[in-house]
Structure 1
Amino acid sequence: MSRSCLAVILAAGDSTRMKSSMSKVLHPVANRPMIAHVMAAVASAGMTDAALVVGRDAEKVAKAGSLEGISVKSFLQTERLGTGHAVLAAREAIAEGFDDVLVAYGDVPLITAAPFAAAREKLAEGADVVVIGFHTDKPFGYGRLLVENGELVAIREEKDATDEERKVTWCNSGLMAINGKKALALLDKIGNSNAKGEYYLTDLVEIARAEGGKVVAVDAPETELTGCNNRAELAVIEKLWQERRRHELMVSGVSMIAPETVFLSFDTEIGQDALIEPNVVFGPGVTIDGGAVIHAFSHIEGAHVSAGATVGPFARLRPGADLAEGSKVGNFCEVKNGKIGEGAKVNHLTYIGDAVVGAHANIGAGTITCNYDGVNKHQTVIGANSFVGSNSSLVAPVSIGDGAYVASGSVITENVPADALALGRARQEVKPERAKLIRERALAIKAARKPAK
Structure 2
Amino acid sequence: MYNCAIILAAGEGKRMKSSTPKVLHKVCGKEMVNVVIDEIRKAQVDNIDVIIGTGAEKVRKATELKNVEYSIQEKQLGTGNAVICAKGFLKDKKGTVMVFTGDAPLIREESIRKLMDFHNKGGYSAVILTSIVENPSGYGRIIREENGEVLKIVEHKDCSTEEIKVNEINSSMYCFDIESLMNSLDRIDNNNAQGEYYLTDVIEILKRSGKKVGALPVPFEETQGVNSRLQLSQAEKIMRHRINEKHMENGVTLIDPDTTYIDFDVKISNDTVIYPQNVLQGKTKIDKGCVLYPGSRIDNSIVESDVTIQSSVILDSKIGSNTTVGPFAYIRPESVIGNSVRIGDFVEVKKSSIGDKTKVSHLTYIGDAEVGSGCNFGCGTVVVNYDGKKKYKTIIGDNSFIGCNTNLVSPVKVNDNTYIAAGSTITNEVPDGALAIARAKQVNKKDWVYKKGLNK
Contact 1:363–1:389, Cα closer than 8 Å, also in 2: no
Could you tell me how far 1:165 is from its partner in structure 2?
2.3
Identity of aligned residues (%): 35
Distance 1:225 1:428, change over 3 A: farther
CA apart distance, 1:181? 2.7
Superposed displacement of residue 92, structure 1: 0.4
Distance in structure 1 (CA, Å) of the matches to 2:416 and 2:150: 74
Which region of structure 1 is more displaced relative to structure 2, 56-65 or 108-117?
108-117
CA shift digits 1:356-378 (9 cap, x unpaired): 11111111311211444445544
**2:140 & 2:46 partners in 1: Cα distance?**
31
Distance 1:120 1:57 in 2: 31
The count of residues paired between Structure 1 and Structure 2 equals: 436
Q: 2:284 aligns with which of 283, 286, 295?
A: 286
Contact 1:355 1:381 in 2 (8 A): no
1:137 to 2:137 alignment = no
In 2, the alpha carbon distance for the partners of 1:252 and 1:128 equals: 40
149-158 vs 406-415, which moves further:
406-415
Structure 2 counterpart SS, 1:236? helix
Structure 1 pair 406/77, CA: closer, same or farther in 2 (3 Å)? same
1:105-148 CA-partner distances (Å, limit 9, x unpaired): 11112222222211111232111101111122221111122223
1:291-440 matches, within 5 Å, as: 291-312=289-310, 314-319=311-316, 321-336=317-332, 337-369=334-366, 370-416=384-430, 420-431=434-445, 433-434=447-448, 440=453
Residue number in structure 2 paired with 1:185? 183
8 Å Cα contact 2:449-2:455 kept in structure 1: no
Q: Give the direction of change, closer, same or farther, for the CA distance of 1:122–1:40 in structure 2 (3 Å limit).
A: same
Instruction: Name the amino acid aligned to 1:274.
Output: T
Distance 1:364 1:121, change over 3 A: same
* CA apart distance, 1:43: 1.6
Could you say if the C-alpha distance between residues 279 and 354 of structure 1 is closer, same or farther in structure 2, counting changes exceeding 3 Å? same
Query: Does 412-421 or 337-346 show the bigger shift?
Result: 412-421
In 2, are the aligned partners of 1:367 and 1:389 still within 8 Å (CA)?
Answer: no
- Superposition deviation, residue 60 in structure 1: 0.8
Q: Distance in 1 between matches of 2:435 and 2:253?
A: 43
Deviation at residue 393 of structure 1 after TM alignment: 3.9
Alpha-carbon offset, residue 404 of structure 1: 4.3
Judged with a 3 Å threshold, the aligned counterparts in structure 2 of structure 1 residues 383 and 22 are, in CA distance, closer, same or farther, namely same
From 261, 270, 273, the equivalent of 1:272 is 270
- 2:161 aligns with 163
The residue matched to 2:262 in structure 1 has which SS? coil
Pick closer, same or farther for the CA change 1:21–1:421 going to 2, 3 Å.
Answer: same
Gaps of 5+ in 2: 367-383
The Cα shift of 1:430 comes to: 4.7
Amino acid of the residue matched to residue 132 of structure 1? L
> What are the equivalent positions in structure 2 for 1:217-232 lying under 5 Å apart?
217-232=215-230
Quick check: 2:393–2:412 contact (8 Å CA) kept in 1? yes
What amino acid sits opposite 1:288 in the alignment? I
Amino acid at match of 1:343: S
- 2:204 is matched with 206
Is residue 86 from structure 1 mapped to residue 99 from structure 2 by the alignment? no
| Structure 1 unaligned regions, length at least 5 | 444-453
CA distance in 2, matches of 1:364, 1:405: 17
- Shift of the 211–348 alpha-carbon distance from structure 1 to 2, 3 Å rule, reads same
CA contact (8 A) 1:36 1:66 kept: no
Q: Which moved more, 1:373-382 or 1:25-34?
A: 373-382
C-alpha root-mean-square deviation of aligned residues, in Å?
A: 2.3
In structure 2, how many angstroms separate the alpha carbons of the residues matched to 1:4 and 1:435? Answer: 93
The correspondence for 2:192, drawn from 175, 191, 194, is: 194
- CA contact under 8 A between 1:101 and 1:180: conserved in structure 2? yes
- Contact 2:180–2:206 (8 Å) recurs in 1: no
Q: Name the stretch that deviates more: 361-370 or 99-108.
A: 361-370
Quick one: structure 1 residues 406 and 258, their matched pair in 2 at CA, closer, same or farther if it must change by over 3 Å? Answer: farther
The aligned counterpart of 2:55 is 57
Distance 1:150 1:221 in 2: 19
Q: 1:413 to 1:285 in 2, by over 3 A?
A: farther
